Amino acid sequence: MSMQKSGYLIASITLALAMILSLPALAETNSKSMRKNFVVSERNYALPAIELHDQNGAVVDVASLRDSGQRTIISFIFTSCAGICPMITANVNRSVPELERIEHDFRIVLITVDPEHDTPERLAAYAERFETDPKIRFLTGSRDQVFGLLRDLEALYEGSNKMNHQPVTLISSGSAQAWRRIDGLIGSDTLVEQYREVVEHEREAG
């Protein structure tokens, strides 16, 4: 074998070994990158005393979403969305069985960011399309009501253009105004994990 071919062979083997040895580090880096796709924080929000309507036309007192004692999960969608909203809806719906294993007494509220278009009838058709669990309620109301609520929950989006809305998930925790806030698109596994952390933290706090 010539010296040149021998050199190429040694270089190839060295590169292959380097790539193999770097795989764990790459996996760890990718895992960390995935974890950085969302941000978790603890916030205090007071829900306003307004009445919205669900997909069945029933009146929902928004302030009671914290006063009733049930744990509440809130996120935001609109029915004509072809981007993140179907993923949010599907992921939330998929999480219900696992959430029930952790703590049964909860509800999920998906609030439209397009109240002028999303009537209760449209929300009902949307819920039917996704075959959502009965624990999931879709809420709408007047523009002023919905946008006031979005403002109170720091979920108002740039230019009030529904296409600019960002994925936000809120999980009620601790005191009457305490929420765990998750900014970013999350899958059902992450929602379950965050829900479990909130529940277990409260149980430990006693």
pLDDT tens profile 179-200: 999 999 999 999 999 999 999 9
Residue 69: the pLDDT is 76
State whether 81 and 170 are in the same domain. yes
State whether 115 and 185 are in the same domain. yes
State whether 2 and 80 are in the same domain. no
pLDDT tens profile 94-109: 999 999 999 989 999 9
Domain that holds residue 29: 1-36
Expressed in angstroms, the distance from the first to the final Cα of the chain is: 74
Residue 183: the pLDDT is 96
Question: What is the pTM (predicted TM-score) of this model?
Answer: 0.80
State whether 14 and 54 are in the same domain. no
Question: What CATH number did the domain enclosing 124 receive?
Answer: 3.40.30.10
State whether 46 and 28 are in the same domain. no
Q: What angle do CA 31, 153, 177 make, to 5 degrees?
A: 95
Residue 176, number of CB atoms within 10 A of its CB? 10
Return the SS3 of 109. strand
Q: How many domains does the chain have?
A: 2
Tokens of 178: 């305490």
